[in-house]
Chains A and B, each alone.
Chain A
Amino acid sequence: MILVLVDHDRGELDQLSLRALTAARKLGQDVEAIVIGKEGAALAGIVGEYGAKVLHVATHANLTDYTPMASGRALKDLVEKLKPAAVLAAGSPRGNEQLAHLAAFLDLPMAAECSEITLGSPHHVLRARWAGNLIESANVHADLLIASVLAFSTEPESANGGAATVAEFEPALEPQDYAVKVLSRDAGESKGGVTLVDAKVIVSGGRGVGGPEGFGQIEELASLLGGTVGCSRVVTSSGWRPHAEQVGQTGTKVAPDLYIAAGISGAMQHIAGMKNSKTIVVINTDPEAPILSYADYAIIGDLHQVIPALTSAIRQAKG
Chain B
Amino acid sequence: MDVLVCLKRVPLAGGTLILTPDSRDIETKHLGFGISPHEENAVEAGVQLVEQMGGTLTLLTLGPSDAEEQLRSQLAIGATRAVLIETDGQEWDPQGTAAALVDAINAEETKFDLIIFGAESADSAGYQIHIRVAHALNRPIITNVKSMKVENGVAVCDRVVAAGREHYEVALPAIVTVRDGLNIPRYPSVPGRMQARKKPVDMKKAEPRVPKLEKVTLALAPSKAKGAEVLGNGADAVPALVEVLKKIGAF
Contacts and interface: CB of A to CB of B under 8 A. Distances in A.
B37 to A, nearest CB: 5
Given A132-B221, A139-B216, A317 B241 contact: no
B218 interface: yes
A164 interface: no
A300 interface: yes
Contact of B13 (A66, A195, A251, A268): A268
Contacts of A113: 125, 127
Interface in A1-54: 9
Given A128-B221, A258-B250, A297-B231, A109 B212 contact: yes
Given A257-B250, A297-B241, 8 more contacts: A9-B161, A97-B131, A109-B212, A130-B125, A134-B17, A258-B248, A279-B244, A318-B251
A243 B131 contact: no
Given A100-B128, A137-B217, A246-B181, A258 B245 contact: yes
Interface of B: 13-15, 17, 26, 37-38, 93-95, 122-128, 131-132, 134-136, 138, 140-144, 146, 158, 160-171, 179-181, 184, 211-221, 223-235, 237-239, 241-242, 244-246, 248, 250-251
B139 to A, nearest CB: 9
A163 B128 CA distance: 33
Nearest to B182: A243
Nearest to B213: A109
Contact of A294 (B93, B143, B184, B224): B224
Interface string A188-202: 111000011110010
A185 B165 contact: yes
A293 B102 CA distance: 44
B251 A317 contact: yes
20 contacts: A103-B128, A104-B128, A128-B221, A129-B218, A130-B122, A138-B214, A139-B216, A141-B211, A184-B166, A186-B164, A188-B160, A225-B250, A236-B181, A237-B184, A250-B181, A258-B245, A268-B14, A278-B248, A293-B227, A299-B231
A188 B241 CA distance: 35
B4 to A, nearest CB: 19
Contacts of A184: 166-167
Interface residues of A, number: 97
B172 to A, nearest CB: 12
Contact of B95 (A107, A132, A237, A269): A107
Given A109-B95, A314-B242, A243 B219 contact: no
